[in-house]
Amino acid sequence: MKFRVWIILVTVVALLSVVISRYIVLPHRNKITHLTAKVPLPSPLAANLPLPKRYDHIVLIIMENKPSASLLNSSNAPFINHLIKNYTLVPNYSAVANPSLPNYLALIGGSTFGVTSDCTSCYINAPNLVDSLENKGLSWKAYMESMPQPCFVGSAGLYAQKHDPFVYFDNIRTNSTKCDKVVPLDQLSQDLNSTNTPNFIWITPNLCHDMHDCSITEGDTWLSQEVPGILNSSIFTSQNSLLILTFDEGDASDNRILTILIDPKKKIQVGNGPFSHYSLLHSIENYWNLPTLTNNDASAPTF
């Protein structure tokens, strides 16, 4: 009888141990208090692996007007620093100009085209990344938060045309098939869950969420809500995809900015640079075997 009681007690203790280990989650030292979803982290065992032969999708998010010194180790940007710790911070990365628009043009055109302001009617007749993608048979779409309607030209409320380089290029703006791929951000969720998710995805937050008009905390919180949904979508869980987070510019005295490469399956290794927006464009071109657009991107070091 005593032997049976002993066996029962041992069994109960073992079951309780399993329950505790499975269902009680202990606090993690890297926990971000305002996260709304779990961010999949790269396994340490996967670090230093070579890049996949081909990324199926590249997602690019552009934030605003913050030099790297204002974000690194800042208590106002816990989510961004969480990404820096767990993924790849591109070192020695600078914007190519001030103010905003020339940097946006450089990212998809390989040049500032002599633009030195945030002009709204300085349209450009030149090849761009969209041409290269389409000629290679790759799909694309640009998502603009607070944009009133697809292919909207002008600024409205929290949507600023100066942060949408696509409508500045004549062969996009005047071509309805292409221009209809420049859409409000609320279409992204549906597209991420479709079978025809674009290969290249550009995301511009609105003037508040990109930190232009609102605080670092506001932008960091927005990223903590949006990025996990992207990383948990099927293009990341079932395919090879890369998310790039960058800023358009720093400030006049220091144009160094943060650029983070996020691949949940591995921690990417990069060189020491110096890197710039032309490097980012060249890296996309190089990875998908696209032609370079100008001497600027052709001569820029890739990641």
Query: Is 37 a member of any domain?
Result: no
The predicted structure's pLDDT at residue 193: 87
pLDDT, average across residues 49-78: 89
In a domain, 28, yes or no: no
Q: In what order do the strands lie in the sheet with 88-89?
A: 88-89, 259-262, 241-247, 57-63, 200-204, 140-144, 182-184
What CATH number did the domain enclosing 231 receive? 3.40.720.10
Task: Give me the percent of the chain exceeding a pLDDT of 90.
Answer: 79
pLDDT above 90 (res 163): yes
Q: Above 90 in pLDDT, residue 266?
A: no
42 within a domain of the structure (yes/no): no
pLDDT for 18 equals 42
Residue 267 confidence (pLDDT): 85
pLDDT score, position 36: 39
Hey, how many other C-beta atoms are within 10 angstroms of the C-beta on 61? 22
Who's near 19: CB < 8 A, 6+ residues apart?
none
pLDDT at 169: 98
- pLDDT at position 53 is 58
In this prediction, residue 254 has a pLDDT band, given cuts at 50, 70 and 90, of confident
Q: Residue 163's closest CA among 105, 218, 114, 230?
A: 105
In sign, the C-alpha dihedral spanning 194, 195, 196, 200 is positive
Give the pLDDT confidence score for residue 54 in this predicted structure.
78
The average pLDDT across 184-202 equals: 96
Report yes or no on 31 lying in a domain: no
**Average pLDDT of the chain?**
87
Type of residue found at 1: M
For residue 88, pLDDT over 90 is answered with: yes
How many domains are there within the chain? 1
The residues that bridge with 62 in the sheet, in sequence order, are 246
Residue with tokens 């995805």: 201
In a domain, 120, yes or no: yes
Res. 5: pLDDT tops 50: no
Mean pLDDT of 64-75: 97
Give the lowest-confidence range in 1-10, 30-39, 177-186.
30-39
Whether 167 shows a pLDDT value over 80: the answer reads yes
In this structure, the number of other CB atoms found within 10 A of the CB of residue 270 comes to 19
Phi-psi region of 68 (alpha: psi -120 to 50; beta: other; left: phi over 0): alpha
Please state the separation of Cα 179 from the chain's center in Å: 22
Within a domain: residue 147?
Answer: yes
Residue 177 has pLDDT above 90, yes or no: yes
Q: How far apart are CA 204 and CA 185, in angstroms?
A: 8
pLDDT at 64: 97
Domain with 276 in it: 57-299
Question: What percent of the chain has a predicted confidence (pLDDT) above 70?
Answer: 83
pLDDT in tens, 116-138: 999 999 999 999 999 999 999 99
Report the pLDDT value the prediction gives residue 181, as an integer from 0 to 100: 98
CB 110 within 8 A of CB 297: yes
In a domain, 167, yes or no: yes
**Cα–Cα distance between 92 and 129 in angstroms, integer?**
24
Query: Does any domain span residue 17?
Result: no
Predicted confidence (pLDDT) per residue in 8-54, tens digit: 544 544 444 444 444 333 333 333 333 334 444 444 334 445 555 57
Residue 76 three-state SS: coil
